Amino acid sequence: MSNNTLKFYQENASTYATHKSRPNSMLFPFLERCKAGGRILELGTGAGVDAQAILEAGFKLDATDGSSELAALATLHLGQEVKVMMFDELAATDTYDGVYACASLTHASKEDLPTIFEKIYRALVSGGSVWASFKVGSHDGTDSFGRYYNYISKEELDAFWKQAGPWSSITYESWEGSGFDEVPTSWVAITASK
């Protein structure tokens, strides 16, 4: 995550935490793919809205965020520790039944994505699944808040994921939406199983 991106989340954690009050609707089909009661890793928990839904669905959760301010807010919200961790610090092996990354990996530099995807592959148990969403585009850049985005194409994303390991399945879904900046945005999400 770039310094300016992290600075935004550190300085605006309270404001950012209030922009989302309901869990991502795409979370629930992903959880159905995961072993009931299994362990989920969330990369970029933000204020913990999706994390709370994961816990309420009966899963064990390791929630993480790169921003210590957001992690502190989410820790209070969830009543369990949210670990401060950058994506490249993921070192787990054969640990998680699911890895969930809603609009978080879109902040990783495009050059780092192949290595991050390999780390996610290693972190999953056999049969485990990952769900991750990205802003679509042809080249990286920043938004009006100075946050970095990799703005990746589906084709690039597909190539990177396939390099990460021998997935048993990879599927994509696309939609139009927005984010915290309320700018119309094209999104793509990947669901992959090990």
Average pLDDT over residues 140-163: 94
d(CA 118, CA 175): 26
Domains and CATH numbers, the chain: 3-193 (3.40.50.150)
Say how far apart CA 6 and CA 27 lie, in whole Å.
25
CA distance 75 to 83: 9
Residues in the chain: 194
| pTM listed for this prediction | 0.95
Q: Tell me the per-residue pLDDT of 102-115, one tens digit each, with 9 for 90 and over.
A: 999 999 999 999 99
The pLDDT value given to residue 183? 86
CB of 149 within 8 A of CB of 137?
yes
Please write the tens of the pLDDT for every residue from 40-64. Answer: 999 999 999 999 999 999 999 999 9
Average pLDDT, the chain: 95
Rounded to an integer, the average pLDDT of 15-34 is 91
Which pLDDT does position 165 carry in this prediction? Answer: 94
For the chain, the farthest-separated pair of C-alpha atoms sits apart, in whole angstroms, at 41
Q: What per-residue confidence (pLDDT) applies to 179? A: 85
Which pair of tokens denotes residue 50?
């999706």
- The SS3 of residue 78 is helix
Percentage of the residues of the chain whose pLDDT score is greater than 70: 100
- Give me the helix-helix angle, 68-78 and 3-11, nearest 10°: 40
At 52 the three-state DSSP class reads: helix
> Does position 86 have pLDDT exceeding 90, yes or no?
yes
Q: Give pLDDT, residue 181.
A: 84
42/90 Cα distance (integer angstroms): 11
Under DSSP, the state recorded for 102 is S
Number of neighbouring beta carbons within 10 Å of residue 75: 18
pLDDT band at residue 193, thresholds of 50, 70 and 90? very high
